[in-house]
Each structure stands twice: as structure tokens, then as C-alpha cells.
Chains A and B, each alone.
Chain A
Amino acid sequence: EAGVTQFPSHSVIEKGQTVTLRCDPISGHDNLYWYRRVMGKEIKFLLHFVKESKQDESGMPNNRFLAERTGGTYSTLKVQPAELEDSGVYFCASSQVSGGAGEQYFGPGTRLTVT
């Protein structure tokens, strides 16, 4: 079974540019999550999809971030325009259930550097 995959693995962009990150969850997992880790800090929750619907987007920093999950399969996270403070590692995770005590399965992350 393939795990969670993310693309690209690294992205270096200039301030003001646009970047789109992609996440492919484990097949059959309705729940998809985006997280971000700024260097040396906690892994912070951004948002949660159940199939194609946004269940919780309370962690999205501002309206420069747009997440989509059309068709309930893969998801994209667009940052437009990027700012310096957006630099960090963006993780995607998926799970079969959102409640209970099930663990989430994480992808390798996308390291975003905004210069």
C-alpha cells in the first residue's frame, strides 16, 4: 500500500510569488490534514478535509493560503503571494477516521523556502 505522498519535496521561491503544494493521501482515506512546521517550532495544524469538504480550517494563517480537495482525492495548498514567514515544512496527513484514537499517516513534507 502506497503511503501519503507530497510534491514537490522542496520549493524555493521569491517573496510575492505563488507556490502550489500537492498531497496524495492513502487510498481510501477520507480524512486529509495539512500541517506546517516552522524551523524549531511545533507542528501546527492548518486544516482538515473530510472527502472534498473542509471540516476545520481554523489553523489557516490568513487568506493568502487556499486549500482544495476537488473530488475528495488529492489536495492542493496554494500560497499566493508568498511571504518570508511562510517558510517551513508543510506536512500532509491522512486517516480513515477523524474521531476515536486512530493515528494519522504523514507524508514526507514539502520544504518551502521563501527568499
Chain B
Amino acid sequence: AQSVAQPEDQVNVAEGNPLTVKCTYSVSGNPYLFWYVQYPNRGLQFLLKYITGDNLVKGSYGFEAEFNKSQTSFHLKKPSALVSDSALYFCAVRGSGGSYIPTFGRGTSLIVHP
């Protein structure tokens, strides 16, 4: 069975500071990892994904995520947070050889303070 843990319900950061939203996973086989963002009253938007290759993946809106196989983590990062980054962030995983249906985490609410 595959699972995702987002240990923080909420992350608070000041504008201009770096941000990290944590995600750890469990899956059989090699993982496909995804980050989605949900802005208020909007659907989930795809941010980035890790399939293979470079452990540092760059995505939309200046976000990046680092795949760490030994720690089974895929933390989302941004060097300098914007107030407009405030949203709900979901991590998802699926195994390369298993079910094609992704398993999502509970979501982390990111609040960027001016």
C-alpha cells in the first residue's frame, strides 16, 4: 500500500523568507511524486513532479522540491515566499509499477505573512 504524510497542518512564514512544506511517502517500487496547490475557491493546480533523474525538481511559480530516497521525502521549497503563495498544498505519490491512482496527503496550509 502507498501512503503520504504531510506532518504539518499549517506552515507560517514571513514574506521574503524561505519556505519548506514537508512530505514523506511510502510506496512499492520507484515513486512518482507530485505537488499540487489549491488556491481559495480554485481547483488543484499541478506544481511539479519527480519521475527520475535529478533529485531537485523545479516547478511553477518558483517552487522546487527535493527528492531524498533514503529519507523517503519530497519536501517542497521556495527561496523567497510571497503573500500570494498562501494556499493549501498537497503532496501525492504513486508507484511506478503499482496502482496508477495517486495517494494524496492531508494537505498543508501555507500562510505567508506580509
A9–B34 Cα distance when bound, in Å, is 25
A109–B36 Cα distance when bound, in Å, is 14
Name the segment of B17-25, B38-46, B76-84 touching the other chain: B38-46
A49 within 8 A of B: no
CB–CB A103/B49 < 8 A: yes
CB–CB B43/A41 < 8 A: no
A→B interface (CB under 8 Å): 3-4, 6, 9, 33, 35, 37, 40-45, 48, 56, 59, 91, 93, 98-99, 101, 103-109
B90 within 8 A of A: yes
Say how far A44's CB is from chain B's closest CB, in angstroms.
8
B→A interface (CB under 8 Å): 4, 9, 32, 34, 36, 41-46, 49, 51, 90, 92, 96, 100-107
CB–CB A41/B46 < 8 A: no
CB–CB B100/A106 < 8 A: no
Say how far B26's CB is from chain A's closest CB, in angstroms.
14
Q: Of A6, A43, A105, which one neighbours B104 at CB under 8 angstroms?
A: A43
CB–CB B106/A103 < 8 A: no
Q: Which residues of A contact B106 (CB under 8 A)?
A: 40-42
Q: Of B43, B90, B107, which one neighbours A107 at CB under 8 angstroms?
A: B43
Q: Which residues of A contact B34 (CB under 8 A)?
A: 103
